[in-house]
Amino acid sequence: MGGCVAFLWASLVVLWASSYPAHSEISTALFRKFEGKQIATNIIAEGSFPKSPRKGKLECSSFCHNSQGCQCFNLGKAAPYHCQLLSFKKGDTVSASSDYDLFISVNAKVRPVDTGNGGPWGSWHEWAYCLPGSYMNSLKIKFDSYNGAGLATDDFGITHLQMFCTYPNGSEANEMIVGVNDVIPPGEWEPIQVCPEGTWLRSWMQSVTPSLGSDDDDALNNIVFICSSDSNGRSDQDGLRLTGTGDSRYSKSAAVKCPFSTVPCGVRTRVEVYQGSGDDSAVNHVQFTCCFIDV
């Protein structure tokens, strides 16, 4: 049955390709072309347009634009103009291809992107976003440093992140503070950490205190960002490494990076509510949304 459905769908795609619906004309401007590039993971649908006078571009872009979850597509360079719709997720990598070109939606957003090693306590707060067309290029961290085992001082670790958003022309957009919101926790704001002009936060790693039982848990204790080395988030090379909190008690996670041609534009935190006379761990985990950038 599945094979019959797939055959029928493929036939409909080819039939549709010969009719060229008028609404497809508006969809090509929504995608940025990357010649000789391809993403080979997270393919959600496929089709071919062998009779297309436009080499499949209008048909495949409209196919993606009208398919739930599609944010980009690979399009074959030669007939039958094979089209692969892609969901665009964390971990997707772009490789060189002699057979395909890659098209990414100018409105593409990848979320959540995280390191996968967050602490176990708390609940997720709402997402906070940069203004449209702006991206994160600097931050401040409020940090209650660790003073030793035991609950005599109840250290909180990272309690807040302040993220600063900037437009590609260098003008300021907005800023947001995320983290603890039910008490004024102890700790100090670290100095602002800024990526060089024309670059963005691109990848990050974090360290989290494991559960210490009856000793003092402080969960997220360090997050270190690495700036992009270019203005578009397309280079595989790392840029400037920022300092984080300086806490080195535990090893950091592997670095996680926004996918090709995206940089952070949104953030949310997992936060434990205030425990009163109990053990507070404040921010346990951080996730980001990565937005397409083309400057």
Say yes or no to pLDDT of 244 above 90. yes
Task: Select from 68, 86, 105 the last residue of a domain.
Answer: 105
Q: Which domain holds residue 70?
A: 2-105
> What's the pLDDT score for residue 243?
96
Task: Select from 105, 138, 165 the last residue of a domain.
Answer: 105
Q: CA–CA separation, 149 vs 79, rounded Å?
A: 67
Q: Are residues 85 and 139 in the same domain?
A: no
Say yes or no to pLDDT of 88 above 50. yes
Say yes or no to pLDDT of 281 above 50. yes
> What is the DSSP secondary structure assignment for residue 14, as one 8-state letter?
H
23-27, 44-48, 211-215, 233-237: the lowest-pLDDT one: 23-27
Q: Are residues 84 and 133 in the same domain?
A: no
- Phi-psi region at 191: left, alpha or beta (left = phi > 0; alpha = psi -120 to 50): beta
Residue 15, CB-side half-sphere exposure with 13 Å CA sphere: 6
Q: Are residues 115 and 249 in the same domain?
A: yes
Say yes or no to pLDDT of 194 above 90. yes
Among candidate residues 181, 171, 164, the one with its CA nearest the CA of residue 267: 164
7-21, 40-54, 90-104, 118-132: the lowest-pLDDT one: 7-21
Span 147-158, mean pLDDT? 70
Q: CA–CA separation, 61 vs 70, rounded Å?
A: 10
* Consecutive H or E run containing 247: none
Q: Are residues 86 and 230 in the same domain?
A: no
> What's the pLDDT score for residue 25?
44
Q: Are residues 145 and 283 in the same domain?
A: yes
Q: Are residues 117 and 169 in the same domain?
A: yes
Q: What's the number of domains the chain is made of?
A: 2
Cite the beta strand spans of 77-134 per DSSP E. 82-86, 94-96, 100-105, 109-113, 123-124, 128-129
Q: Are residues 27 and 134 in the same domain?
A: no
Q: Are residues 35 and 94 in the same domain?
A: yes
**Predicted confidence (pLDDT) per residue in 200-229, tens digit:** 999 999 999 887 666 667 789 999 999 999
Q: Are residues 39 and 180 in the same domain?
A: no
Q: Are residues 194 and 288 in the same domain?
A: yes
For the chain, what is the mean pLDDT?
Answer: 88
Q: Are residues 25 and 63 in the same domain?
A: yes
> What's the pLDDT score for residue 23?
37
Q: Are residues 75 and 204 in the same domain?
A: no
Count Cβ atoms below 10 Å from residue 204 Cβ, excluding itself: 24
Cβ atoms of 295 and 231 within 8 Å: the answer is: yes
**Predicted confidence (pLDDT) per residue in 4-43, tens digit:** 434 333 333 333 333 333 333 445 569 999 999 999 999 9
Burial class of residue 186 (count of CB atoms within 10 Å of its CB; 0-12, 13-18, 19+): middle
Task: Select from 105, 120, 137 the last residue of a domain.
Answer: 105
Among candidate residues 25, 99, 84, the one with its CA nearest the CA of residue 49: 84
Rounded to 5°, the CA angle 88-90-95 comes to 65
Give the CATH number of the domain where residue 258 resides. Answer: 2.100.10.20
Give the CATH number of the domain where residue 72 resides. Answer: 3.50.4.10
